[in-house]
């Protein structure tokens, strides 16, 4: 009897059956990555504005991430069913707390459960040359979410300087897209918002790097720019009035490129193994 070797595919395959894909910031990026679900960021329908409301459960997870060695990707589910040109006039955040790091002080210090950095799509102005996908750092600390403010890493609220995402005329540092019309078991029709940020950018202009332990959180601001308090929704079952110790989840150590390659090879091996299965008689 021939022994069959099987491999476990650890990546969650992308959802099929959707409405429109809209490239909100940037175009032409290959998004064909293996999304891994982050079920700890699942969130109920909070009754806030649908385009700002993070949702997800075990049937239809609320957040995912991926890494292809060149870009790190984050995806979150919003309660809005259809996206038009006027849907988004607010700000959505992916916040990052690096273990043993405090922005402005460096490594060896820490302020646990306080965001050191963040990515934000500021859609309030609808001008990607001045806003768009922005790199943020902590500005105002507080012990509740709606007392926290982030600031652009370039220190400019109205323009993109060289050290911001897609600053200084660059166009491939970061991307945002939306995928609407996603049916769910418990939330009706929803939308994915996807971020992609290049490792080249991060390792040049920030202290973020592979091998660090990251905690991440989701936040949104209602009908205002990313310079306002985190006042609309917080992922992971938290609310803006809650302690900022809630709503975080750990990614663990961000994998090195060699690990990513091995995981990819495992997926390829699984497909090859399936093709080698003997035909049923």
Residue 257: predicted pLDDT: 60
Residue 190: predicted pLDDT: 98
- Asked whether the whole model's pTM tops 0.95, one would answer no
Please list the helix, strand and coil fractions of the chain in percent, rounded to the nearest 5, in that order.
10, 35, 55
From 271, 264, 215, 216, select the one nearest 67 (Cα to Cα): 264
pLDDT value at 88 more than 80:
yes
Q: Indicate the DSSP class of residue 41.
A: G
Main-chain dihedrals φ then ψ at residue 258, nearest 5 degrees: -65, -40
pLDDT value at 128 more than 70:
no
Q: Which residues pair with 107 in a beta bridge?
A: 101
Average pLDDT for residues 142-149, to the nearest whole number? 97
Residue 130: predicted pLDDT: 66
Residue 279: predicted pLDDT: 41
Q: What does the angle CA 259 – CA 263 – CA 269 come to, to the nearest 5 degrees?
A: 140
pLDDT value at 69 more than 80:
yes
């Amino acid at each position: 009897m021939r022994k069959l070797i099987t491999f476990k595919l650890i990546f969650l395959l992308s959802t099929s059956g959707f409405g429109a894909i809209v490239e909100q910031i940037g175009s032409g990026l290959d998004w064909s990555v293996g999304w891994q679900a982050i079920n700890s960021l699942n969130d109920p329908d909070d009754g806030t504005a649908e385009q700002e409301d993070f949702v997800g459960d075990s049937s239809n997870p609320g957040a995912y991430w991926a890494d292809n060695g060149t870009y790190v990707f984050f995806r979150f589910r919003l309660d809005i069913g259809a996206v038009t040109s006027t849907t988004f006039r607010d700000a959505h955040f992916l916040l990052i707390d690096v273990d043993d790091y405090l922005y402005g002080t460096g490594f060896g210090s820490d302020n646990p459960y306080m965001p050191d950095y963040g990515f934000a799509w500021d859609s309030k102005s609808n001008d990607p040359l001045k806003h768009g996908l922005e790199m943020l750092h902590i500005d105002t600390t507080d012990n509740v979410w709606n007392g926290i403010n982030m600031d652009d890493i370039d220190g400019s609220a109205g323009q993109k300087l060289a050290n911001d995402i897609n600053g200084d005329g660059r166009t491939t540092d970061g991307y945002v897209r939306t995928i609407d019309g996603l049916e769910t078991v418990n939330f009706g029709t929803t939308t994915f918002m996807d971020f992609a940020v290049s490792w080249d950018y991060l390792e040049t202009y920030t202290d973020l790097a592979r091998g660090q332990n990251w905690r991440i959180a989701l936040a949104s601001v209602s009908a205002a720019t990313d310079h306002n308090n985190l006042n609309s929704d917080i992922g992971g079952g938290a609310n803006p009035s809650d302690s900022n110790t809630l709503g975080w989840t750990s990614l663990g150590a961000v994998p090195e490129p060699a690990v990513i390659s091995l995981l990819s090879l495992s997926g390829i091996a699984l497909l090859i193994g399936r093709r080698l299965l003997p035909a049923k008689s």
